[in-house]
Structure 1
Amino acid sequence: MKKQRPVNLDLQTISFPVTAIASILHRVSGVIVFVALAILLSLLAQSLGSKEGFENVASLADNFFIKFILWGILTALAYHIVVGIRHMIMDLGYWEELESGTQSAKVSFIIAIILSLLAGIMVW
């Protein structure tokens, strides 16, 4: 028996709510932070190993590409923290309704953008 059900494979026609986008990006930023943690810990170990290692890591900070990666890591970390706090507040029973959840997701985006700009100022 073949079921006739609609299949929509065109993701451009699907409209995700802002709360779903916030949740998906929270997971993506968590993966980015996890991978970045390994990179940053290896750089820390190298810089603490010797004077030459420290100078090597310090010289990397002058490269534009490395600064851009650091800015991306800080942006992902800031977003993950902000939306993580939002999720924890929702676990406590607040902002669970559709309207308040949508508003809190929008506010989280705004706070994350501000923190991203501040991270850019700090890196450059």
Structure 2
Amino acid sequence: MRARSAGAPKFLNLSQIRFPIGAIASIGHRLSGVLLMVSLPLLALALDRSLRSEPEFAALRDLVSAPWRALLLVILVWAAAHHLFAGVRHLLADIGVGSRLAQARTSAWAVIVAAGIIALAAALRWLS
């Protein structure tokens, strides 16, 4: 049998890797950006339709009142909030504000919690 060389690849079990909170916030920023980009044409179409007339607005409101469609809207609200907050966090880090490790961790948690609270508030709003 041959000995394993030092540069040989190792099996990485991704379910066992623990990402730091900053990495989770950063991945969420990218994911939310993709969601927003993909949904932008549909959101523009919905806005156009809702502004045509009152019956068109009512029809669109009825269309998104189904629970699974409302869930999609809540996800988009989360994406918008997370992308905004994480973007501000990254911009501040670029100019050196909050770039110490403890501050970066705190701001990452703040982004995740704030976006979650806004999404939860949107969900409660649509449920009522």
1:107 aligns with 2:110: yes
Distance in 2 between residues matched to 1:101 and 1:4, nearest whole Å: 33
Query: What amino acid does structure 1 have at the position aligned with 2:81?
Result: A
Aligned alpha-carbon RMSD (Å): 2.1
1:91 aligns with 2:91: no
Q: Which residue of 1 aligns with 2:50?
A: 47
Q: Which residue of 2 aligns with 1:56?
A: 59
Distance in 2 between residues matched to 1:57 and 1:77, nearest whole Å: 21
Report percent identity of matched pairs: 33
Question: Runs of at least 4 residues of structure 1 off by over 6 A?
Answer: none
Q: Which range moves more in the overlay, 37-46 or 27-36?
A: 37-46
Q: For structure 1, which runs of at least 5 residues remain unmatched after alignment?
A: none
Alignment size in residue pairs: 123
Q: For structure 2, which runs of at least 5 residues remain unmatched after alignment?
A: none
Q: Which range moves more in the overlay, 34-43 or 6-15?
A: 6-15
Q: Provide Cα deviations, 1:74-96, integer angstroms capped at 9, x if missing partner.
A: 11111111111111111121111
Distance in 2 between residues matched to 1:52 and 1:117, nearest whole Å: 29
